């Protein structure tokens, strides 16, 4: 029954997406931006599903399994970044009629800057984002359906098979369907994800509360509080120390929701500014509910892991892989009749992030590299065709890389955030300077990109390992042998990567401003209105934004 409902729901979504998009494929705007026809609810659903893939669902619940409620900062603070994007960034994007974020950089700086940023985005997608989405998705599917045992193969082989199955289906959505196919399928799956995602903590609380949600919550809180898992203020050894909320955390959120092509492309496809703002703010309200799906289940799984005598999927003494906690919880608490449906919805979420990133990669290559540098006279149809071909090869590369992530140590979510810093902060830096200044020249942007990538890479992948190894070795030489104490020494031996991001963000801005002072542009930059869409803002933008900000701050204070 589970397999039948899984295949049935997945096929239904594919058919609806095909019927909705079969006449809208060949123009550049039609393929890359859904014909600039997306409405608020569609944008919100697509934003939610693109964000809520398995690196979030599995990874963040895995982090909550380890640390408790403090990891909710990744969700609650996202709503603030979405408000900032709706109020300040989106009006400027739509005024300029851009299809990709790097297109703004070309008009603000020059073509080479745009190409460098497109290259950074593409390298980040193929090396980090797409493989992690595929790996985490395959891990979830394999855990829920026990694919290696079903096929009679080893764990690594099972991962390869599932990765290529997910990747192949994702190619058909993103490469052959374009953004609208992605957005339509996302919107359908968003409903299922909300239903299924909220059902997991409900059934989980009932499981630990002898059939009562309220009693289950009381049991969970009573057990978690003494362990410090109900405190949203992380200490220096936590994955999200309290101070990082005011430094790199908000920079990461603003980059992700305001400049990451795979995300902001949904809002760029809005039929007008008001619909784009509605989509972002609708999605912000949904993100406020995020901890119910992305944090609470991980804490429930932790409770069950500590009581193996009552729950049959955690055996006493077993080593728990935190990134498998969520799919194991789903198998434990969902009624058998719902497992197939939720697996299909989760599969849709996996596809959403994969095909969203892939579609954005196709867009970046087709418009910012192929048409800009290789064939400047190419027609829309030719650009789309070449982009599709590139997307297929990119997808194959990501599929080949993904299974090897099983060798990586640590949790998926923290790994993803740290590695993304190589390109996220440098790109965000030059965009911020580009909008807030008029005379900073193109050479400053190139230097800012180079210094940002190089300095962060040296910091995190050369200096940090050396300092951490030295601190741990000194501690062991001094007689420290306790694993927890050594782990704390390791986590505090070097500044948190979010602090490093903030430091380099400020440093690179200063470098760019100095260059702008010494060698300014000859004329001020002025953004022109292309009149491609109406840029009249949503009439209730400000009050809705204020309500969202108040709710987010209130939730965070309550749990602190």
Q: Cα separation of 292 and 131, whole Å?
A: 26
Q: Which of 211, 196, 203, 145 is nearest to 338 (CA)?
A: 196
Digit-coded pLDDT (tens) for 144-180: 778 888 888 888 888 889 898 888 877 776 555 554 5
| Residue 300: both structure tokens together | 């429930």
**If pLDDT is split at 50, 70 and 90, which confidence band does 448 have?**
very high
Q: Cα separation of 517 and 437, whole Å?
A: 11
Digit-coded pLDDT (tens) for 518-547: 999 988 888 788 777 888 999 999 999 999
Q: Can you tell me whether residue 234 is helix, strand or coil?
A: strand
**If pLDDT is split at 50, 70 and 90, which confidence band does 78 have?**
very high
| Residue 192: both structure tokens together | 């299922």
pLDDT at 381 over 70: yes
Tell me if 257 sits within 8 A of 67, measured CB to CB: no
Average pLDDT over residues 388-394: 84
Rounded to the nearest 10 degrees, what angle do helices 412-436 and 101-108 cross at? Answer: 30
pLDDT at 15: 59
Q: Cα separation of 20 and 37, whole Å?
A: 12
Digit-coded pLDDT (tens) for 309-319: 787 665 444 55
Average pLDDT over residues 232-259: 87
What Cα–Cα distance (Å) separates residue 146 from each residue in 138, 140, 381?
Answer: 11, 9, 43
Residues 6+ apart with CB under 8 A from 182: 46, 50, 173, 174, 352, 355, 356, 359
Tell me if 200 sits within 8 A of 293, measured CB to CB: yes
pLDDT at 470 over 70: yes
**Weakest-pLDDT range from 88-97, 316-325, 401-410, 454-463:** 316-325
What is the distance, to the nearest Å, from the Cα of residue 144 to the centroid of all Cα atoms in its chain?
A: 22
What Cα–Cα distance (Å) separates residue 180 from each residue in 22, 184, 278?
Answer: 10, 6, 18
The CATH code of the domain at 2-7+31-421+538-558 is 1.20.1730.10
Q: Which sequence spans correspond to the domains of the chain?
A: 2-7+31-421+538-558
Residue with tokens 């569609």: 42
Residues 6+ apart with CB under 8 A from 40: 270, 274, 275, 276, 277, 278, 279, 282
pLDDT at 475 over 70: yes
């Amino acid at each position: 029954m589970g397999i039948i409902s899984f295949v049935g729901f997945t096929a239904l979504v594919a058919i609806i997406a095909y019927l909705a998009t079969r006449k809208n494929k060949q123009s550049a705007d039609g393929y890359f931006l859904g014909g600039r026809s997306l409405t608020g609810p569609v944008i919100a659903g697509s934003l939610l599903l693109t964000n809520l893939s398995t690196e979030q669902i599995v990874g963040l619940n895995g982090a909550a399994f380890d640390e408790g409620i403090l990891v909710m900062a990744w969700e609650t603070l996202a709503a603030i970044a979405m408000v900032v994007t709706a109020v300040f960034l989106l009006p400027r994007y739509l005024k300029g009629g851009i299809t990709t974020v790097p297109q703004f950089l070309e008009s603000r700086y020059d073509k080479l800057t745009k190409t460098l940023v497109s290259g950074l985005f593409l390298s980040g997608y193929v090396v980090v984002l797409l493989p992690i989405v595929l790996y985490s998705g395959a891990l979830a599917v394999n855990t829920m359906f026990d694919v290696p045992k079903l096929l009679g193969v080893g764990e690594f082989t099972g991962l390869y098979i599932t990765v290529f199955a997910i990747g192949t289906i994702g190619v058909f959505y993103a490469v052959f369907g374009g953004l609208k196919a992605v957005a339509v399928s996302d919107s359908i799956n968003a409903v299922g994800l909300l239903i299924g995602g909220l059902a997991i903590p409900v059934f989980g609380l009932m499981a630990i509360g002898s059939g009562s949600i309220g009693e289950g919550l009381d049991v969970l809180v009573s057990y978690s509080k003494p362990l410090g898992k109900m405190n949203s203020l992380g200490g220096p050894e936590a994955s999200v120390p309290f101070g990082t909320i005011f430094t790199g955390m908000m920079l990461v959120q603003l980059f992700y929701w305001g400049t990451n092509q795979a995300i902001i492309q949904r809002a760029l496809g809005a039929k007008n500014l008001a619909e784009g703002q509605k989509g972002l703010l609708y999605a912000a309200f949904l993100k406020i509910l995020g901890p119910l799906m992305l944090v609470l289940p991980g804490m429930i799984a932790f409770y069950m892991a500590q009581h193996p005598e009552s729950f049959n999927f955690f055996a006493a003494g077993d080593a728990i892989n935190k990134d498998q906690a969520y799919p194991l919880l789903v198998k434990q608490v969902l009624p058998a009749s719902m497992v197939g449906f939720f697996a299909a919805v989760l599969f849709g979420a996996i596809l959403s992030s994969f095909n969203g990133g892939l579609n954005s990669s196709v867009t970046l290559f087709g418009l910012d590299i192929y048409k800009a540098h290789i064939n400047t006279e190419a027609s829309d149809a030719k650009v789309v065709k070449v982009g599709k071909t590139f997307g297929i090869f990119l997808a194959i590369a990501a599929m080949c890389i993904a299974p090897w992530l099983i060798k990586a140590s640590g949790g998926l979510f923290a790994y993803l955030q740290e590695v993304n810093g190589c390109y996220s902060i440098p790109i965000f830096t030059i965009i911020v300077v580009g909008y807030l200044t008029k005379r900073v020249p193109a050479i400053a942007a190139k230097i800012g990109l180079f210094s940002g990538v190089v300095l962060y890479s040296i910091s995190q992948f050369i200096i940090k390992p050396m300092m951490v190894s030295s601190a741990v070795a000194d501690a062991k030489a001094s007689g420290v042998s306790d694993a927890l104490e050594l782990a704390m020494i390791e986590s505090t031996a070097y500044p948190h990567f979010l602090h490093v991001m903030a430091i380099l963000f400020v440093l690179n801005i200063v470098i760019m401003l100095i260059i702008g002072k010494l060698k300014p542009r000859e004329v001020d930059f002025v953004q022109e209105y292309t009149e491609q869409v109406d840029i009249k803002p949503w009439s209730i933008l400000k009050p809705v934004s204020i309500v969202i900000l108040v709710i987010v701050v209130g939730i965070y204070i309550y749990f602190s």
